Amino acid sequence: MMDNPHRPWRARVVERIQESATIFTLRLEFLDPEIRASYHFAPGQFNMVYLYGVGEVAISIVSDPKDPTLLDHTIRTVGRVTNGISQLQAGDTIGLRGPYGRGWPMQEAEGRDVLVITGGLGCAPVVSVINYIARRRKQFGKLTILQGVKLPKDLIWRDRFERWIKEPNTEVFLAADKGDPSWPWHVGLVVELFDQMRLSDNTIVMMCGPEGMMRACVNELLLRQIPEHAIYLSMERNMQCALGQCGHCQYGADFVCRDGPVFSYDQIKPLFAHSGF
């Protein structure tokens, strides 16, 4: 029989980091040295993480592709599988297969100004972009980070944002729907921050978050003459096989798990304005 693409490989939890009350990061390593040696990924790609006896879930890889042996997965506890996975400790073994999908256009972004927009808790996939650029700072132009949350406590990695603010050629804009005394930044919606930014015509945009927020941001960007093909969005859909086979993640004719999750806006524009796809 031919190779079974459904079957995971074994991986070990090297470290478990609690990021917030409901968000944690698992640092994983394949057990098999051959898999470890041959595995490579790009920012924005994801793995299927399997919890024994419970099931699989699609999680994007947030660590740097330069080290493909230690794979960080930042996970929010939302359902049956992620609840179970949150109980794992260093030393536990799980199943892991991937990487899947098409990641962020990092090569295309080289030499250009990069605007990273994230909303809510969906920031993990673009944090890989920020980290990637931060480590290769000279290869990119200005980095602008726009992050919106509902409440100040929803901002994970606050220390990282505070560090990024101080980086050269980097601007960070943060917004919370509701503020509190701990929140020195904007109170309101992410889209309200666009007026504070100056976007060069050399800007490439990478965006991830709730679709309503992404829609509003796309409108703002188009108003500011950012071309459709320079706006990239990471889409999220029900994923079960990650092989473009089970049909759940279809977005029109695209299989998000295979043709995405990162799309340029012009690719998905015809359906993006409609709910139900």
Taking CB under 8 A as the rule, does residue 78 contact another protein?
yes
Site for another protein in 220-239 (CB under 8 A): 236-238
Given 6, 135, 198, 269, the residue binding another protein (CB under 8 A) = 6
**Exposed/middle/buried for residue 1 (C-beta within 10 Å: 0-12, 13-18, 19+):** exposed
Q: Which is nearer to another protein, 95 or 179 (CB)?
A: 95
Taking CB under 8 A as the rule, does residue 141 contact another protein?
no
257 vs 263: CA distance, rounded Å = 11
Angle separating helix axes 211-223 and 265-272, nearest 10 degrees: 120
Helix (H) or strand (E) holding 170: strand 170-176
Q: Coil, strand or helix: which one is 212? A: helix
Site for another protein in 245-274 (CB under 8 A): 245-248, 250, 252-253, 258, 270-271, 274
Taking CB under 8 A as the rule, does residue 208 contact another protein?
no
Taking CB under 8 A as the rule, does residue 240 contact another protein?
yes
**Least distance in Å: CB of 256 to another protein?**
10
242 vs 225: CA distance, rounded Å = 35
Distances (CA, A) of 43 to 117, 175, 187, 266: 15, 25, 30, 21
Site for another protein in 9-28 (CB under 8 A): 9-10
In the 8-state DSSP scheme, what is residue 261?
Answer: B
The interface mask with another protein, positions 47-66, x = CB under 8 A, is ---x-xxxxx----------
Q: Which long-range contacts (CB under 8 A, 24 or more apart) does 266-271 make?
A: 266/228, 266/229, 268/233, 268/235, 269/228
In the 8-state DSSP scheme, what is residue 4?
Answer: -
Given 83, 87, 93, 219, the residue binding another protein (CB under 8 A) = 93
Number of residues that bind another protein (CB under 8 A): 44
Taking CB under 8 A as the rule, does residue 94 contact another protein?
yes
Taking CB under 8 A as the rule, does residue 198 contact another protein?
no
**Least distance in Å: CB of 260 to another protein?**
13
User: By the criterion CB under 8 A, which residues form the site for another protein?
Assistant: 1-10, 50, 52-56, 76, 78-79, 92-95, 236-238, 240-241, 243-248, 250, 252-253, 258, 270-271, 274-277
